[in-house]
Structure 1
Amino acid sequence: MPIYHYRCKKCGYDFTKEQSFSDDPIKVCPQCGAEQVHKVYAAVPITFKGSGFYRTDSHSSSK
Structure 2
Amino acid sequence: MPIYEYQCGACGHQLEALQRISDAPLTDCPACAKAELKKKISAAGFRLKGGGWYETDFKTGSKKNLAGDSAKPKSGTDKSGGGSAAAD
TM-score, normalised by the number of residues in structure 1: 0.67
Name which structure has the greater RCO, CA cutoff 8 Å, separation 6+.
Answer: 1
Partner Cα distance (1:39, 1:7) in 2: 7
Partner Cα distance (1:32, 1:26) in 2: 14
Per-residue CA shift, 1:15-56, capped at 9, x if unaligned?
0000011110000101101111001102457x8x828xxxxx
Q: Which protein has the bigger strand share?
A: 1
In the alignment, residue 38 of structure 2 is paired with which amino acid?
H
Q: Percent identity?
A: 35
In the alignment, residue 32 of structure 1 is paired with which amino acid?
C
Could you tell me which residue of structure 2 aligns to residue 28 of structure 1?
28
**Aligned alpha-carbon RMSD (Å):** 2.3
Could you tell me which residue of structure 2 aligns to residue 60 of structure 1?
none
Could you tell me which residue of structure 2 aligns to residue 14 of structure 1?
14
Q: Which protein has the bigger helix share?
A: 2
Q: Does the C-alpha gap of structure 1 residues 24 and 5 become closer, same or farther in structure 2, counting only changes over 3 Å?
A: same
Q: Structure 1 regions of 5+ residues with no counterpart?
A: 52-63
Paired positions, count? 50
Structure exhibiting the larger radius of gyration computed from Cα positions: 2
Q: Structure 2 regions of 5+ residues with no counterpart?
A: 48-61, 65-88
Partner Cα distance (1:50, 1:15) in 2: 38
